[in-house]
Structure 1
Amino acid sequence: MSEMVEAAIKALSAKLSGGFDGVAKFVIRGEGSIMLDSDGVRAGDEEAEVTLTADADVFRAILEGDMNATSAFMQGKLSVDGNMGLAMKVGSVLA
C-alpha cells in the first residue's frame, strides 16, 4: 500500500467516524484504491455503487480542503462512475 493511500485512509477515517451509508471507491491513479462503506475506510478494490477516480495531486487537494470535489468534477479532474447521488454524499463527507 502506498504512503498516499495510507494517508488518505487516515484522513478519511477522521472525517467518517461512523461508517458510510453505501459503498464507494476512490481510485487514486498510480497509488491504489480506497473503499468507503458501513465498516469505515480501508484499502481495497471491490465492487462499489460509485467509483471516483483522480490523480494523487487532485485527491490530496480535495482531502486537504484546497479543492472542492464538485469543482474538481466540473473541471474534469475527478471522474465519477455510478450513482451520482452517492457521489454527492461522498463529496459532502470530504467538505
Structure 2
Amino acid sequence: MADLHAVFSAMEQRFNSSAAGDLSAVFQYQITDGEAWNVSVDNGSCKVAQGEHDDPSVTLTMDAQTLEEVMSGETDGMQAFMTGRIQADGDIMLATRLTSIFPPS
C-alpha cells in the first residue's frame, strides 16, 4: 500500500505557488483504505495535515493506489474521476486545478 505520509509530503514539496495564485481553498482527501488528509492552499502557501478539516472546499474520495498514481503522473486525475476511481463532492471545479497547483513528479 502507498505510504500516505510520503505521498502528501511530496505533494507539499511540489506545490506551485504561482499556479495557485491568490487561491484560498481546502482539499479534503478521504482515502478509503487509509486515513483522511487535507491540504490547505492559501494565498500562495500550502499546508498539509492528517485528518479531516472542518470546512473543506472540495472532498476527494479515492483509494491510496489511485492517489499515488495520480500524484506520480501515471494516471490522469480527470480520467480517474470520469471512470469513477475518484469521487468529488463540493466545488468540483477546484479539483480541476490540482494538476497545475501540484504538478506530477
TM-score range, shorter chain: 0.7 to 0.9
Aligned to 1:62: 70
Gaps in structure 2 of 5+ consecutive residues: none
Output aligned runs, 1:30-49, within 5 Å.
30-37=33-40, 38=42, 39-46=46-53, 47-49=55-57
Aligned to 2:28: 25
**In 2: Cα distance, 1:28 partner to 1:72 partner:** 14
- 8 Å contact kept, 1:26–1:52: yes
Worse overlay, 67-76 or 28-37: 28-37
4+ residue segments displaced more than 4 Å: 17-20
Q: Report the AA paired with residue 31 of structure 1.
A: G
RMSD of equivalent CA atoms: 2.2
How many residues end up aligned between the 2 structures?
94
Which TM-score applies when normalising by structure 1? 0.83
Q: Deviations over 1:13-52 (max 9, x none)?
A: 1122648631111111121111111351121211301001
**In 1: Cα distance, 2:102 partner to 2:84 partner:** 18
Gaps in structure 1 of 5+ consecutive residues: none
Greater Rg over alpha carbons, structure: 2
Q: Report the AA paired with residue 25 of structure 1.
A: Q
Larger relative contact order, structure 1 or 2 (CA cutoff 8 Å, min sep 6) = 2
Tell me which of 91, 95, 101 is aligned to 1:87: 95
Kindly, what percent of the aligned residue pairs are identical?
24
Q: Deviations over 1:64-93 (max 9, x none)?
A: 110010000011100000001211122433
Aligned to 2:6: 7
Local SS of the residue matching 1:23: strand
